[in-house]
Amino acid sequence: MIVLSEHVDYWNHIGWKDPYSARFYSDRQSAYANRFNLDSPYTPQMVVDGSSEFVGSDPELARKAFDRALAVQKVAVRMSAISVDAGNTLHAHVETGAVPSEADVVMAIALNHAESQVLRGENGGRTLTHTAVVRRMVKIGTARPGLAFAQDVQVKLEPGLTRDNLRMIAFVQEVRQGRVLGAAVERVLGN
């Protein structure tokens, strides 16, 4: 299982700004809401393999979704030649097996572990612990039906990130945030 935590920014108006939030993730969640014919986005929401969504705090629904996802054959995704140069740019080679339909190839850089001190709101005064917090997500290319994909990638990392606390995730997803066809994760370590 590969986890990505995408912190939305639409709660930032309640007196505390989530330091990991971004409009980009709110927009991604809105696209999922449209795709799943929901009235609106909501929190906490879990999306599994781009194929199902549900209230993320429901362990039984999560288990069922994971079981369904595990039963589906995935496209192979591999990353190699991973390095970070002195300019804080991540370099990697990403390749996939042949895809059954047109798909976006996406790279995400995430924090393995993060914490935030909540000053106000319903969690005011608490320290929240987070896992796999996405800090950067970029589409690196498009895989064509019946073909494999291979590309060298360069992604600028934000200043201050500790390389030993980073993971790099590459995933293949049908266009317009459809079904996830395959994914891989690797730790990021500097040279």
Q: What is the pLDDT along the chain (191 residues), one digit of tens a residue?
A: 999 999 999 988 877 889 999 999 999 999 999 999 999 999 999 999 999 999 999 999 999 999 999 999 999 999 999 999 988 999 999 999 999 999 999 999 999 999 998 888 778 889 999 999 999 999 999 999 999 999 999 999 998 888 889 999 999 999 989 999 999 999 987 54
Quote the pTM value: 0.92
Instruction: For residue 127, tell me if it sits in a domain.
Output: yes
Running DSSP on this structure, what letter comes out for residue 163?
G
Q: How many domains does the chain have?
A: 1
Instruction: For residue 122, tell me if it sits in a domain.
Output: yes
Instruction: For residue 6, tell me if it sits in a domain.
Output: no
Instruction: For residue 2, tell me if it sits in a domain.
Output: no
Range of the domain at 40: 12-188
Instruction: For residue 3, tell me if it sits in a domain.
Output: no
Instruction: For residue 96, tell me if it sits in a domain.
Output: yes
What is the rounded CA–CA span in Å between residue 46 and residue 55?
6
State which amino acid sits at residue 31: A
Instruction: For residue 32, tell me if it sits in a domain.
Output: yes
CATH code of the domain covering residue 116: 2.60.40.10
Beta bridge partner(s), residue 187: 167
Which SS3 state, helix, strand or coil, does residue 18 take? Answer: coil
Instruction: For residue 7, tell me if it sits in a domain.
Output: no
- Residues found in the chain: 191
Omega prior to 100 cis, within 30 of 0? no
- E strand segments, the chain: 45-48, 52-55, 77-84, 89-96, 103-117, 127-143, 149-156, 166-174, 180-188
